[in-house]
Structure 1
Amino acid sequence: MVTSIILINAERTKINEVAEKLQEIAGISEVYSVSGKYDLVAIIRVKTNDDLADLVTNKMLAIDGIAKTETMLAFQAYSRHDLEAMFAVGM
């Protein structure tokens, strides 16, 4: 599983529209509107790096209103959320 965090700057009048379109894309598990330097943060969980590349370079590129992105690849998960998910499937 490949997890990525994408920081997104959107056109000011299209932030909500961009967020709604992002959450419809398979592989994007969460979208947050945030304060600070970026407008939105998307959490991506896909099977392979090729799936991530397709999502970023094809599917996200088709969304009107995205001005700039910065993609970060997660190496290790330390969150309680991930531990709870493991126990939920009986591991």
Structure 2
Amino acid sequence: MKPFFVMIKCELGKAYEVANDIADAEIASEIYSTAGDYDLLVKFYLEDGQDVGKFMNEKLHSIPHIRDTRTIITFKAF
């Protein structure tokens, strides 16, 4: 399984709702609130060979109140 992280910018006042929707969808490993340019940092895992872009479009971008995302692809844990 390959981990990757997504920083999510939400509509104002909607970060908790977005976090709850992601948790309810059971698609994330971990969800954190953050300070700064983005509201949430979410860790996902995909099976080897699964398409990150397709996952993002079908599973994450369909959640209401997400304004922007930044995906961080990971290679190796130390």
Same fold (TM over 0.5): yes
Query: Which residue in 2 is equivalent to 1:23?
Result: 23
Alpha-carbon RMSD: 1.5
Give the structure-1-normalised TM-score: 0.76
Shift of 1:45: 1.1
CA contact (8 A) 1:2 1:49 kept: no
Amino acid at match of 1:54: K
Q: Percent identity?
A: 29
Does 1:63 find its partner at 2:71? no
Distance 1:52 1:26 in 2: 16
Alignment coverage as a number of residue pairs: 78
User: In structure 2, do the counterparts of structure 1 residues 52 and 26 end up closer, same or farther at CA, with 3 Å as the change threshold?
Assistant: farther
Give the structure-2-normalised TM-score: 0.87
Matches within 5 A, 1:2-81: 2-78=2-78
Runs of 4+ in 1 over 4 A off after TM superposition: none
User: In structure 2, do the counterparts of structure 1 residues 32 and 64 end up closer, same or farther at CA, with 3 Å as the change threshold?
Assistant: same
Larger radius of gyration: 1
User: In structure 2, do the counterparts of structure 1 residues 54 and 48 end up closer, same or farther at CA, with 3 Å as the change threshold?
Assistant: farther
Is the partner of 1:58 in helix, strand or coil?
helix
Distance 2:7 2:49 in 1: 18
Where structure 1 has 5 or more consecutive residues not aligned to the other structure, the ranges are: 79-91
